[in-house]
């Protein structure tokens, strides 16, 4: 089997991740913050250690501002639905995932003023277009760090500067970049960073987070969920202090332990080494596919300007047929269709059918890429 669907979920997971998840069930199986016994205390320690590791990993500052969620979608919704009110102005790019677009379209129906800035057909964003869209009435700018369709990396540093000059906050969707690209929240000036654990961070599904910058006034954000937090149980009102304000319900301690192990695995291996490997794999894919007649590769086609995602179509062949043949005949696992990002596909010109998406990861080898290109050549040419 050749697994090329790491943009959806990374696989194989590092052994350290699996071990950490089993270990926390055996050693710290209590409910963190809900009791005073040793298992509860140990589970709480795992949670806090993970907050510290993530705050250090993203250089965000206060670990209490690391909010655990079920994934990037949950994290994005906390900000979009908790911060924005009818009449607020929001700017987003046309490459956003439905985790951003669906909440924004719902809020638009309730009075939000939404400005979607068109990107180029390769998924790139002209900062001048963002600059023209952001004005002094803009409350929030939402931007995907890298497209889950084309892999194109968007200019976060420039967008931060534009947003802050106008007095707006910046929310970054790092679902495809956390664990793959270096992200320094303080250096960039990012206000909100939404990430998921089950992709580049090598953790399990069902865990992610929202990292809130130290300077952000969280009293302006209503919690998406309300309920038990294990703190201030004498109150029937939601606590205002962090992280409890945004973490109601029993936390996914198993997922948190796996996430922590994934972050530490990346730190030990070196994110620069991971990035270098993925650039080589991306380059080999783009070069190989470009030599096949009838194939069109989308995005910038430049590994320096994209993460390890390569989308393509083939003349006179349905993407679903290509994906099926690759799976059944060659054991190559891809993802076909619209990838929960219709706006992005409209931008690059592949709506409504979508593309075949190839997403190598840290377990992918050069031999895997060579076999994949050969298989695609056979499928498309047959």
Residues acting as catalytic residues = 340
Cis bond upstream, residue 352 (ω within 30): yes
Distance of alpha carbon 51 from alpha carbon 49, whole angstroms: 5
Rounded distance, CA 180 to CA 176, Å?
8
Q: Torsion angle of alpha carbons 175, 179, 182, 183, nearest 10°?
A: 50
Q: Say how far apart CA 61 and CA 214 lie, in whole Å.
A: 6
- Rounded to whole angstroms, the Cα distance separating 323 from 159 reads 36
CB 161 within 8 A of CB 149: no
For 126-147, give one letter per residue: b (16+ CB within 10 A) or e.
Answer: eeebbbebbeeebbbbbbbbbb
């Amino acid at each position: 089997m050749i697994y090329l669907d790491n943009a959806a979920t990374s696989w194989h997971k590092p052994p350290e991740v699996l071990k950490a998840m089993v270990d926390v069930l055996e050693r710290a199986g209590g409910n963190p913050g809900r009791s005073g016994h040793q298992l509860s205390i140990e589970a709480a320690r795992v949670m806090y250690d993970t907050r510290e590791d993530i705050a250090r990993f993203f250089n965000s500052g206060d670990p209490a501002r690391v909010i655990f969620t079920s994934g990037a979608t949950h994290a994005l919704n906390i900000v979009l639905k908790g911060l924005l009110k009818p009449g607020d102005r929001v700017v987003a790019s046309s490459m956003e995932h439905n985790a951003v677009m669906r909440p924004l379209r719902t809020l638009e129906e309730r009075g939000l003023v939404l400005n979607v800035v068109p990107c180029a057909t390769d998924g790139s964003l002209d900062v001048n277009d963002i600059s023209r869209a952001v004005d002094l009435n803009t409350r929030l700018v939402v931007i995907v760090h890298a497209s889950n369709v084309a892999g194109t990396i968007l200019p976060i540093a420039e967008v931060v500067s534009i947003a802050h000059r106008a007095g707006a906050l910046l929310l970054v969707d790092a679902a495809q970049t956390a664990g793959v690209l270096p992200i320094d929240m303080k250096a960039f000036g990012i206000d909100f960073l939404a990430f998921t654990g089950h992709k580049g961070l090598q953790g399990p599904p069902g865990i992610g987070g929202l990292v809130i910058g130290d300077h952000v006034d969280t009293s302006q954000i209503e919690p998406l969920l309300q309920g038990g937090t294990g703190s201030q149980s004498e109150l029937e009102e939601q606590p205002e202090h962090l992280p409890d304000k945004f973490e109601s319900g029993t936390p996914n301690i198993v997922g948190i332990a796996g996430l922590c192990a994934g972050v530490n695995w990346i730190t030990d291996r070196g994110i620069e080494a991971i990035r270098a490997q993925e650039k080589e794999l991306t380059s080999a894919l783009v070069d190989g596919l470009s030599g096949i007649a009838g194939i069109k590769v989308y995005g910038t086609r430049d590994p320096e300007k994209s993460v390890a995602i390569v989308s393509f179509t083939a003349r006179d062949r349905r993407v679903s047929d290509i994906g099926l043949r690759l799976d059944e005949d060659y054991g190559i696992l891809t993802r076909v269709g619209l990838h929960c990002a219709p706006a992005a596909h409209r931008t690059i010109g592949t709506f409504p059918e979508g593309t075949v998406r190839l997403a190598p990861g840290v377990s992918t080898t050069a031999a895997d890429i060579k076999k994949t290109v050969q298989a695609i050549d056979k499928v498309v040419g047959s």
